[in-house]
Amino acid sequence: MPRLTVNGKEVEVPEGTNLIEAAKAAGAEVPHYCYHPALSIAGQCRLCMVDIDKVPRPQIACNTQATEGMVVHTETERVLETRRSMMEFHLINHPLDCPVCDQAGECFLQIYYMKHGLYDPRMVDEKVHKPKAVPIGPHVMLDAERCIVCSRCVRFCDEITHTGELGIFQRGDQSEIGLFPGTALENKYSGNVIDICPVGALTDRDFRFQVRVWYLDTAKSVCNGCARGCNVEVHTNRHRPHHNQGRRVARLKPRFNAEVNQWWLCDEGRYGFKWMDDKSRLTHPLHRGGGEGAEVSWDRALPELVKRLQGCPPDEVGLLASPKMSNEDLWALRRLAEHLGVRNLDFRVPPSAPGDEDNFLIRADKNPNSRGAELIGVAPDPGGRDAAGILRAARERRLKLLWIFHHDLAASGWPEAEVLAAIENTETVIFQGTNANDVSARAHLVLPSAAYVETEGTFTNFQGRVQRFRTAIPPLGESWPDWMILSVVGKALGASDPVFSAERAEQVFNALAAAVPAFGDMTYRALGDAGRMVTA
| Residue 35 Cβ vs other proteins, minimum distance, rounded to whole Å | 11
> Which listed residue (45, 72, 142, 216) binds other proteins by CB under 8 A?
45
The verdict on 120 binding other proteins (CB under 8 A) reads: no
170-to-130, 131, 174, 175, 176 alpha-carbon distances in Å: 11, 13, 6, 5, 7
Tell me how far apart the alpha carbons of residues 250 and 21 are, in angstroms, rounded to a whole number.
32
| 512, 519 Cβ separation under 8 angstroms | yes
> Which listed residue (77, 125, 292, 503) binds other proteins by CB under 8 A?
125
| Residue 173 Cβ vs other proteins, minimum distance, rounded to whole Å | 3
| Residue 147 Cβ vs other proteins, minimum distance, rounded to whole Å | 11
Output 150 or 302, the one with its CB closest to other proteins: 150
The verdict on 130 binding other proteins (CB under 8 A) reads: no
| Residue 254 Cβ vs other proteins, minimum distance, rounded to whole Å | 27
Stretch that binds other proteins, among 40-48, 313-321, 466-474, 488-496 (CB under 8 A): 40-48
HSE-CB at 333 with a 13 A cutoff on CA atoms is: 31
The verdict on 128 binding other proteins (CB under 8 A) reads: yes
* Distance from the Cα of residue 512 to its chain's centroid: 24
| 82, 57 Cβ separation under 8 angstroms | no
> Which listed residue (76, 170, 280, 496) binds other proteins by CB under 8 A?
170
The verdict on 77 binding other proteins (CB under 8 A) reads: no
> Which listed residue (2, 24, 67, 88) binds other proteins by CB under 8 A?
88
| Residue 58 Cβ vs other proteins, minimum distance, rounded to whole Å | 8
Stretch that binds other proteins, among 163-171, 215-223, 272-280, 422-430 (CB under 8 A): 163-171
The alpha carbon dihedral of 368, 406, 448, 379 has a sign of negative
> Which listed residue (80, 96, 111, 123) binds other proteins by CB under 8 A?
123
Tell me how far apart the alpha carbons of residues 355 and 315 are, in angstroms, rounded to a whole number.
33
Stretch that binds other proteins, among 44-52, 333-341, 446-454, 461-469 (CB under 8 A): 44-52
Read off φ and ψ for residue 140, nearest 5 degrees. Answer: -120, 135
Residue 292: how many CB atoms within 10 A of its CB?
7
> 192-205 burial, b if ≥16 CB within 10 A, otherwise e?
bbbbbbbbbbbbbb
Number of residues in the chain: 536
| 423, 440 Cβ separation under 8 angstroms | no
The verdict on 30 binding other proteins (CB under 8 A) reads: no
Output 121 or 477, the one with its CB closest to other proteins: 121
| 465, 230 Cβ separation under 8 angstroms | no
Q: Is 259 helix (H, G, I), strand (E, B) or coil?
A: coil
The verdict on 528 binding other proteins (CB under 8 A) reads: no
The verdict on 67 binding other proteins (CB under 8 A) reads: no
Output 119 or 526, the one with its CB closest to other proteins: 119
Read off φ and ψ for residue 388, nearest 5 degrees. Answer: -65, -35
Stretch that binds other proteins, among 124-132, 351-359, 364-372, 452-460 (CB under 8 A): 124-132
The verdict on 46 binding other proteins (CB under 8 A) reads: yes
- Please choose, from the candidates 345, 356, 353, 347, the residue with its C-alpha nearest in 3D space to the C-alpha of residue 411: 353
> 416-429 burial, b if ≥16 CB within 10 A, otherwise e?
eebbbbbbebbebb
The verdict on 47 binding other proteins (CB under 8 A) reads: yes
Output 126 or 299, the one with its CB closest to other proteins: 126
Residues 6+ apart with CB under 8 A from 154: 166, 167, 168, 177
- Please choose, from the candidates 279, 291, 276, the residue with its C-alpha nearest in 3D space to the C-alpha of residue 441: 291
Output 110 or 175, the one with its CB closest to other proteins: 175
**Per-residue mark of binding to other proteins, 171-210 (x: CB under 8 A):** xxxxx-----------------------------------
> Which listed residue (58, 191, 368, 380) binds other proteins by CB under 8 A?
58
| Residue 78 Cβ vs other proteins, minimum distance, rounded to whole Å | 11
The verdict on 121 binding other proteins (CB under 8 A) reads: no
Read off φ and ψ for residue 319, nearest 5 degrees. Answer: -115, 115
DSSP class per residue in 157-180: IIIIS----EEEES-GGG-EEEEP
Output 88 or 338, the one with its CB closest to other proteins: 88
The verdict on 42 binding other proteins (CB under 8 A) reads: yes
- List 480's β-bridge partners, or say none: 449
Stretch that binds other proteins, among 37-45, 137-145, 256-264, 378-386 (CB under 8 A): 37-45
CA triple 362-366-367, angle to 5 deg = 120
Tell me how far apart the alpha carbons of residues 474 and 249 are, in angstroms, rounded to a whole number.
11
The verdict on 126 binding other proteins (CB under 8 A) reads: yes
Tell me how far apart the alpha carbons of residues 381 and 344 are, in angstroms, rounded to a whole number.
7
Q: How big is the site for other proteins, counted in residues (CB under 8 A)?
A: 37
> Which listed residue (71, 98, 134, 168) binds other proteins by CB under 8 A?
168
> Which listed residue (17, 74, 93, 437) binds other proteins by CB under 8 A?
93
The verdict on 57 binding other proteins (CB under 8 A) reads: yes
The verdict on 122 binding other proteins (CB under 8 A) reads: yes
Tell me how far apart the alpha carbons of residues 95 and 23 are, in angstroms, rounded to a whole number.
32
Task: Note the residues at the interface with other proteins (CB under 8 A).
Answer: 41-47, 49, 57-58, 60, 63, 81-82, 85-86, 88-90, 92-93, 122-126, 128, 148-149, 167-168, 170-175
